[in-house]
Amino acid sequence: MNEKVMGIGMVCELTGLSERQIRYYEERQLISPDRTQGRTRKYSFEDVERIKEIQQKMNEGFNTFEIRQLAAKGRLTIKYSCT
């Protein structure tokens, strides 16, 4: 399920996070949603799982930079290719 189909509002519901948090993780290159012509972000279920795992790591004390490194080394459960 890596089709980018849902809006950020739905991702908020599924993850329990705020739009701000989700957009910030993108800024930190931990996720990379698609964009519609009108610039609105579209996420996949894989993105949702990835976001949940990011949040777990954050709770464990990692910062976004460290999580980025873990991801680069394949140390995360949810594999993901970030642009």
Partner DNA sequence: CGTGTAAGGAATTCTGACACG
Return the number of the residue (29 or 80) whose C-beta is nearest DNA: 29
Angstrom CA distances, 81 to 5, 36, 62, 64, stand at 17, 20, 20, 16
Tell me if 69 contacts DNA by CB under 7 A: no
Query: Which of residues 16, 19, 24, 36 is near its own copies by CB under 8 A?
Result: 36
Q: How far apart (Å, rounded) are the C-alpha atoms in residues 4 and 15?
A: 16
Return the number of the residue (36 or 56) whose C-beta is nearest its own copies: 36
Kindly state the tokens that stand for 67.
Answer: 């999580």
Q: Nearest 5°: phi and psi at 36? A: -85, 175
Query: Which of residues 2, 9, 39, 60 is near its own copies by CB under 8 A?
Result: 9
Radius of gyration of the chain (CA): 12
Tell me if 29 contacts DNA by CB under 7 A: no
Minimum CB separation of residue 78 from DNA in Å reads 17
Site residues, its own copies (CB under 8 A) = 1, 3, 5-7, 9-10, 14, 36, 42, 45
